[in-house]
Every structure is written in structure tokens, then in C-alpha cells.
Amino acid sequence: MQTEFTEDQQQFREIVSRFLRDKSPTSAVRQLMATEQGFDPAVWQQLSGELGLAGAHIPESYGGFGFGPVELGIAAEEMGRYLYCGPFFASSVMAGYALMAAAFEPQKEKLLPAIARGETIATLVLDDLNSPDRVGHAISAVDDILSGIASLVVDAHIADVLVVIASTGEDLGLYLVDSSAEGVVIEKREVLDPTRKLSSVRFAEVKAEKIGEVSMVSLNQAWDQICVALAHEMIGGAQYLLDSTVEYTKMRVQFGRPIGSFQALKHRCADLLMEVEFARAATHHAARCLDAGEGEPYIASMVKAMASDTYMNAARAGIQLRGGIGFTWENDTHLWFKRAKSSEVFMGTPHLHRERMMTIMEANTNEQ
Amino acid sequence: MNNDEIRKAVGSWLDDNWSADMSLVEWRDILVDGGWAAPHWPEEFFGRGFTQEQAALVSDVFTEKGAVGAAHAGPRRLAAETILAQGSDTQKKRYLRPILTGKEAWCQLFSEPGSGSDLAGASTKAELIDGRWIVNGQKVWTTSAHHADYGILLARTDWDLPKHQGLSYFLINMRQPGVEVRPLRQMNGHASFNEVFMTDAEVPSEDLIGGQGNGWAVAATTLSFERRGFALSRSAGEIKGAKVGRVYDEYEAELAVANEPYTWYPQRQGRVDLVVPRAIETGAIKDPQVRQEIARLISMSKGARLASAAAEQKRRAGTNEIIPAGSIGKLAASVIARQAAHVHTMITGADAMLSGPDSAAQGIIAETLISVPAISIAGGTDEIQRNIIAERVLGMPKELRSDTGPFRDIKRNTS
């Protein structure tokens, strides 16, 4: 198993980072988050076409870059740092991983190349965003006719196609629906984090194409992969908050000295650095575990919980150490705070993941 | 010599000279004369000028052949390396050999009741009177002082200079009337350390090391060796083969003395290893809150290990980045130990009111609960580590100082 980044991977990070620094400054984030669409199609095309990020983790045989979770993680980490606004997470990460885990071969061959090129924007419709165990409770498929509602779907408002996991009674199936199909009602929701757009998606007896079978194993596998990518996004954001907050304490003067010279602030920053270091090392390790198919079986839940707590701690410190200015709309810190909060609860809160981690650990101990 | 030649040379030398039937000192005299006691030291002082890697190779051959090496346990190594780095030729000739043979044991007289975190604030006084240094003052947290023949001592020789400049570094004979050693009992009942009282204790003028007023620089040398850790200490159990013979018996006894202060050290780390087994054994593993806290503990512990491995890789790759390894590792150990103690408490419940052989895990849990407070103090408090991380790693501005100017004018503790 890989234990450090290769030179190629480091270069890849630099390329992604440079691109996002240029294309996703906070001025762009603020502008995009206020729009209906929430993303810039030109930047998305460059990011997918020129950099190949949308297909980083998709095998070359399906038109992707053929990298793995490590490179996808690098891309997600940098996007988290720059709060990139676009369908990367919904289309590439969520729909991409779900298709790779559960779709039939012909549909993989048909759908994945378009997703990898960024030409088709897909999203994964899950009727529960808390735990894989609850998926399938609200959307059912009878003779490939979908009924029900998913109340939280990322980027459904800009998706061309919906990849839906629905209950077939006993089992779960994977379905494909055109977002403009008759009977599909997509309504944008008011969101806490304006950089991550959510909609409800209602299916009123919609004819769908069944494109795969979803077992609990494949659902958990996709869930893990999505969580590890999300953890990368979160540690990227946490690192940005740490860096920017420390810089602020060096510049801001009160009582005749930079506030960073006060131990109360130093100690909080030191603790935060430690937490960020741990979460990042663990998250990078998790991607390598997924890549190699070995390591701790509970690693995805472990890092989702760690990255969530770390990002929120960094966000709280980011506001607190700036004082009053940190609570203003004008200051950028709240953009990351809101992303931290929405990421904390997205795909399972930390406490659910810790419980899942223990359950997996026990199951594996009992097997041995 | 290349690596194979080194292995061959030390191997054939051991074949010719090693025997377990000698006394330990007898064997080590041969060892020192043969030049294999400290191969990384320079040739003029008992060594061969080997690199650390070459020296490790020699050590491997010793282990394979079942041969006992030079004395290395405890603070003697710090004294030896400091004398080697900063001492005069006379000092090296006088002191290094008995350190290697184990004939003379050493202790480290740095911390004082009045200066703990602020080591440079030491106020033990050394005055040059009639060609001898007369020492008065008190040291504390001195490991193995009751077994020591000599001590490395940091004392103040000038009270009118700023605090770092008025310190000098001495080699002091512990076996003299002016030195009194008293065991210091800790809150967990063990007495791993000592207090050392010096009343008109004498140091010959030639046992000043590094020159008058250079004590802080010499102490920094010692501390850098201390930070590099006690990884060297091994037990006779790791030596291969049947361990029958006088040398082994005496070596075991030497290690037992050196390791005696550290029996509770695993407990101060929180005994993370016992958490899951005890949770299963007691059924606490079914408690949702215990599960949450165990998961947190495992996450922290794995995160710390992975972060430390990542830092080590960066260091080896020779990056220009500041690597936050040491102080973060130290701080991590505290956080992990506290969390482990917290989980042990949840698991054990009211039984945690007990201690001793009848209590949980034959007393290990009780000892853990009352030993963990040490981890965030020993070797630099958590608060000092956070200052170091903030200032050196994050580059935050230094604390304003109120301890500049002549030492005698600086506010300090009064006893």
C-alpha cells in the first residue's frame, strides 16, 4: 500500500491548486453562490475537459483518467480549500461512484465517459443522506416505475440525468431518469450553505430505466468512497481556515501587540494544527486503503467523523479568533463555516459514523 | 570499511573475546580496549569514528552473538555525549571510560523547584572560592540520583548577567557530604525521582565544562540528546541465545536498577491497549456513549500515528517545510492518554474507586487513572508545547518577555 504521495501526484496537486486559485477566488464563490445555477459552466468545462478532474477516478476503459481515490482526494481537497462551486461532487463523486459500484456493464460504458468529460451532469438521488441503512425508505420502484421523494439531492437543479437508488420491495435497484422526464418534480430548497445547492426530487410514477442492482455491500462501498472524497474536501477547507486564521492573528493588533502573541490564541491554534494534522494524515491514509483494498475496514467512517469535527473546530476558531469582523457577511470566513456545517451532516453526522465504525470493527473482530 | 567488512570485523573480534563467564566490568574493559564500546565516537576517545548507521550495524552483530554492549541505560548517555561534544580532553579521559564500562553512574541536575518550564531561570549558586566551585541550591526530578556517582549540573555563576548568560555547567561528584539525595514521592505512590540538596558541595575547578558562562549552550547539547530519546535502552531479553553466565546476571541487575523508575510509564500513556478488551469483558462495549468515546480514542490514536509517520517521511525526503513532529507528538500523547483514562473510567464505573491487586486489571486501571496527569507535564508541559508549536511551526509572534536584564532583578520564586 502507498504511504506517501508520488512526485506525479504532487505535481497533479499543484496543477489543480493553481487552476482553482485562478478560477475560484472568493469573489467568484460569492458571485456564483448568489446565482440560480450556482456554478460557471465554462470553468466546469475546463476543469473536466482540460484537467480531466471529473473523470479522475473513472477507469480509462470508461473514458476516465484511470486514477484512483488518492488523485480524486487530491482534487477534492483543493476544491475544499477554494470552495469550488460546481457539480464535481454530485456528478463525478456521488453518481460516478454509485455507477461504478452498481451499474450494469452497458450502462457504465454509456454513462461514465460522458460524466468523465463533464458533458453530462449527473447526480445521485438518495432518499436518505444520513446512513446507508436507511436508503430506500422513501422511493420505490414497481415494474421500473418510480414513486416517492428524496428531500435532499445535491445539484439536482442542474443535473441532466438522475441516478436513483430505489427500493424494489426486497432489494434496492439503480435507476436512470432524465431530469426533464414527465413526472419528475425538482424544487430548489433554501440552503444553509449557498455553495452547495440542494433540491427535493419527487417522482410521480415516473418510467425509469433500471441500470443496476444495489446490494448492501455495493451501497456501503459507494458510501465509503463518497465519504472519503468528502473528508478530503473537508480537510482542504480546514487547512485553509487554519492558515488564514493564523495569518489574521499575526496582523491584528490589540492592546499594543499582535493578538497572535497572546497564549490564549496560540494554544487554540496549536490544538487546531494538531487536529488538522491528524485528520489529514488519516484521510490520506483512507484513500490509500480504498485504492489498495486493504487497511482498517472502518477507515472511511473514521475519517468522515474526524474531518467533520476538525472542519467545524477550524470554522469555530476562524470566526472566534477574528472577533466581531468574523461574524460579518463581508468577511469571507462564514463561507467556509457554512460549508463545514453542511459537510458535517452530509452523508452521516460524526456520531453516526463513529457508531458505524464500532459496528464494522466488532463485525471484523467476531469474524477472526 | 564497507558494511560487510564491519560485520566481519566485529563478528570475529567477538568470537575471539566475548565470554559470558567474566564479570560485567571485566568484559566491558576488554570491550572498551577493543574499540567496540562506542564505535560512533572518535578514534582518540574509545571509538572508531563510525556513522550512526555503521554503529547500528555493530549493535546488530552484538545482538546476534548474544554479547552485552557498553552501559547505556539512563542519564549516563546524556553525560557521555555532552562530555564528548563539549568537554576538555582531560575530562574525556577521566570520565568517558567508566561511563562505558558502567563503573560510574550519572544523573542530570537541571530542574529546580523554582525553575521547571523555565529551565534557564535556575538559581542554584556556584561560587569560585580558593580554586574550587562551592555549590548551594536544590535540584528536583532527578532520576536515579540515589544510584549516581556523578551528576551533570547547571548552576548560576553570575547574577548580574542576563539569565541565559550567567549559567555554567559542571560535573559534580555525588558521593560527598555536601550532597544529599532524598526520594520524591509522586501522587501515584511511586518514587521514580529524587530531590537533591547541595550545601557547600564542592566541584574542582577543572570540572567546569564549556567555560564559565556557557552553561546554557552546553545544556542545550544535553537536551538535544535527550530529545533524540532513549530508544537505545534495550533489555537482556532481546539478546539472542541462552543467557547463562555471570555477565548476563550482572547486566540484568544493572538494567533492573536503571529501569526501576519506569515501571508505571505505560500507565501514564493511558493504556490504550486495554480499552477494547476491557470494554468487551465488562459488557460496556454495548453502551452507545462508551462506543462513541472508544471510536474517538481510536481515531486520535491512529491519526497521531499516521501524522507522525507522514512527518517522518517528509523529514527523510529533506523538505524545507517546518515539520511539526516533536511537540505535536508530545501534545498528542497527552490528549490520547487523557481520552483513554476517560474511557477507562466509563468502562470501570464505581469499581474505579478501588486500587491495588483486587481492583480492575490487577490495579493497572487504578494506576493509569492516577498516573496520566504526569504525561502532560513531564518533558515539557502541554502549555509549553503549545507555545512551541504556535511560535516555531505556525510562526505566531513571541510572547513579550519580562525576564530580560540582570538575573538578580528578575522576579522569581521565593522559597
Mutate to test the interface with B, among A358, A361, A368 (most CBs of B within 10 A): A358
Residue B196 near residue B109 (C-beta atoms within 8 A): yes
Domain boundaries for CATH 1.20.140.10 within chain B: 264-393
Q: Which residues of B touch A285 (CB under 8 A)?
A: 306
Q: Given CA atoms B165, B169, B175, B181 in this order, what sign does their dihedral have?
A: positive
Residue B71, classed as helix, strand or coil, is coil
Q: Which amino acid is present at B188? A: N
> The domain spanning residue A132 has which CATH number?
2.40.110.10
Main-chain dihedrals φ then ψ at residue B239, nearest 5 degrees: -75, 135
- φ, ψ of residue B375 to 5 degrees: the values are -65, -30
- The DSSP string of A215-282 is -HHHHHHHHHHHHHHHHHHHHHHHHHHHHHHHHHHHH-EETTEEGGGSHHHHHHHHHHHHHHHHHHHH
Q: What is the pLDDT averaged over residues A221-234? A: 98
Residue A2 lies in a domain: no
**Model confidence over A116-159: pLDDT tens digits?**
999 999 999 999 999 999 999 999 999 999 999 999 999 999 99
Q: What is the pLDDT of residue B413?
A: 87
Which CATH number fits the domain that encloses residue A42?
1.10.540.10
> Exposed, middle or buried: residue A106 (CB in 10 Å: 0-12, 13-18, 19+)?
exposed
Q: What range does the domain containing A71 cover? A: 7-116
Same domain membership, residue A281 and residue A186: no
Same structural domain, A239 and A360: yes
Pick the CATH number of B264-393 from 2.60.40.1930, 3.30.70.260, 1.20.140.10, 1.10.10.10: 1.20.140.10
Number of folded domains that form chain A: 3
In this structure, is residue A183 part of a structural domain? Answer: yes
Q: Are strands A145-154 and B106-109 parallel, antiparallel or unpaired?
A: unpaired
Q: How do residues A54-98 score in pLDDT, each as one tens digit?
A: 999 999 999 999 999 999 999 999 999 999 999 999 999 999 999
- Please write the tens of the pLDDT for every residue from B176-199: 999 999 999 999 999 999 999 999
Q: Are residues A224 and A336 in the same domain?
A: yes
Distance from the Cα of residue A11 to its chain's centroid: 22
Q: Examine the fold and report which residue of A214, A244, A275 is the final residue of a domain before the chain moves on.
A: A214
Chain A residue with minimum CA distance to B389: A270
Q: Write down the pLDDT at residue A157.
A: 98
Cell numbers at B297, concatenated: 480514542
Q: What is the pLDDT of residues B348-366, one digit of tens each?
A: 999 999 999 999 999 999 9
Match 434496492 to its residue by C-alpha cell.
Answer: A172
Provide the pLDDT for residue A61: 96
In a domain, A1, yes or no: no
- For the segment B116-123, the average pLDDT, to the nearest whole number, is 93
State whether A228 and A308 are in the same domain.
Answer: yes
B204, pLDDT greater than 60: yes
Q: What is the CATH number of the domain that holds A328?
A: 1.20.140.10
pLDDT above 60 for B232: no
Taking the CA atoms of residue B341, residue B346, residue B347 and residue B348 in that order, the dihedral angle to the nearest 10 degrees is 80
Q: Are B222 and B108 in contact (CB under 8 A)?
A: yes
- Rounded percentage of chain B residues whose pLDDT exceeds 70: 94
Q: Show residues of chain B in contact with A354, CB under 8 Å.
A: 291-292, 295-296, 299
Domain membership of residue A281 (yes or no) is: yes
Q: Which residues pair with B109 in a beta bridge?
A: B153
The last residue of one of the domains, among A54, A86, A116, is A116
Substitution target in A274, A283, A309 with the highest count of B β-carbons within 10 Å is A274
CB atoms within 10 A of CB B104: 18
Do A350 and A230 lie in one domain? The reply is: yes
Q: Which of A260, A270, A361 sits opposite B389 (nearest CB)?
A: A270
Domain with CATH 2.40.110.10 in chain B: 102-227
pLDDT for B230:
41
Question: Comparing C-alpha atoms, which of A222, A237, A190 is closest to residue A77?
Answer: A237
pLDDT digits (tens, 9 = 90+) for A100-120: 999 999 999 999 999 999 999
Q: Is the pLDDT assigned to residue B49 strictly greater than 70?
A: yes
Got the DSSP string for B53-69? HHHHHHHHHHHHHT---
Give the pLDDT band of residue B233 (cuts 50, 70, 90). Answer: very low
Supply the pLDDT for residue B258. 84
Q: Positive or negative, the Cα torsion across A221, A226, A228, A231?
A: negative
- Angle A115-A119-A124 from CA coordinates, rounded to 5°: 40
As given in the structure block, the three cell numbers for residue A152 are 435532499
CB A176 within 8 A of CB A203: no
CB nearest B383 (choices: A249, A267, A354): A267
Answer whether A286's CB lies under 8 Å from A302's CB: yes
Q: Lowest mean pLDDT of A201-215, A300-314, B240-254, name the range.
A: B240-254
Helices (H), B102-167: none
In chain B, which residues have their Cβ closer than 8 Å to the Cβ of A274?
328, 331-332, 335, 389
Q: In B115-152, which positions are buried (b, 16+ CB within 10 angstroms) versus exposed (e)?
A: bbeebbbbbbebeeeeeebbbbbbbbbbbbbbbbebbb
Beta strand pairing call for B150-156 and B132-143:
unpaired
B14-50: string of b/e by CB count within 10 Å (b at 16+)?
beeebebebebeebbbbbbeebbbbbbbeeebbbbeb
Q: Do A296 and B302 touch (CB under 8 A)?
A: yes
Tell me which residue in A261, A270, A278 faces B300 most closely, judged by beta carbons.
A278
Does the domain at residues B102-227 carry the CATH identifier 1.20.1250.20?
Answer: no
Nine-digit cell string for A333: 470566513
Q: Is A56 exposed, middle or buried (0-12, 13-18, 19+ CB in 10 A)?
A: buried
Instruction: Write the CA distances from A134 to A137, A138, A298, A343, B253, integer angstroms.
Output: 6, 9, 19, 19, 63
CA quadruple B204, B205, B206, B207: dihedral positive or negative?
Answer: positive
Mean pLDDT of B202-221: 96
- What pTM does this model have? 0.91
Q: Are residues A197 and A163 in the same domain?
A: yes
pLDDT at B234: 43
- Rounded to 10°, the helix A69-82/A7-23 angle is 30
To the nearest whole number, what is the mean pLDDT of chain B? 92
In a domain? residue A320: yes
Q: Which of B285, B288, B400 sits opposite A257 (nearest CB)?
A: B400
Shortest distance, CA A224 to any CA of chain B (angstroms): 16
In B105-231 the beta strands, taken as DSSP E runs, fall at 106-109, 125-129, 132-143, 150-156, 167-173, 179-184, 193-204, 208-209
- Spell out the residues 6+ positions from residue A207 whose beta carbon is closer than 8 angstroms to its own: A144, A145, A181, A183
pLDDT at B231: 39
- In sequence order, what are the beta bridge partners of A125? A164
Q: How many CB atoms lie within 10 A of CB B191?
A: 14
Burial class from Cβ neighbours inside 10 Å (0-12, 13-18, 19+) for residue B214 reads middle
Mutation pick from B292, B299, B339, B387 vs chain A, by most beta carbons of A within 10 Å, is B299
For B91-101, the pLDDT digits (tens) are 999 999 999 99
Give residue-wise pLDDT tens across range A263-290.
Answer: 999 999 999 999 999 999 999 999 999 9
Give the burial string for B264-273 (b: 16+ CB within 10 Å, else e): bebbbbbbbe
Same domain, A68 and A132: no
- Is the CB of A271 inside 8 Å of chain B's CB atoms? yes
B318 touching A, CB under 8 A?
no
SS3 category, B204:
strand
Statement to judge: residues A158 and A231 lie in one domain: no
Residue A237 domain flag:
yes
Burial zone of B227 (CB within 10 Å; 0-12 exposed, 13-18 middle, 19+ buried): exposed
Question: Which of B67, B279, B192, B300 shows the shortest CA–CA distance to A309?
Answer: B300
Of B222, B174, B219, B215, give the one whose Cα is nearest residue B198: B174
Task: Please report which confidence band the pLDDT of residue B322 belongs to, taking 50, 70 and 90 as the band edges.
Answer: low
Residue B297 has φ and ψ, to the nearest 5°, of -60, -45
pLDDT of res. B73: 76
pLDDT averaged over chain A? 97
Phi, psi of B228 (to 5 degrees): -70, -10
The residue from A163, A197, A214 where one domain ends is: A214
For residues A185 and A204, what is the distance between their CA atoms, to the nearest angstrom? 8
Residues A345 and A228 in one domain: yes
Question: Cβ distance B373 to B187 under 8 Å?
Answer: yes
What does the pLDDT read at residue B75?
A: 87
pLDDT band at B229 (very low <50, low <70, confident <90, very high): low
Residue B225 CB coordination number (10 Å): 16
Q: Determine contact, residues A131/A227, Cβ cutoff 8 Å.
A: no
Chain B contact for A357, CB < 8 A? Answer: yes
> Three cell numbers at B361?
486489571
Does any CB of chain A come closer than 8 Å to the CB of residue B300? yes
Structure-block grid coordinates of residue A189: 430548497
Task: Provide the residue type at B338 as one letter.
Answer: R
Chain A contact for B335, CB < 8 A?
yes
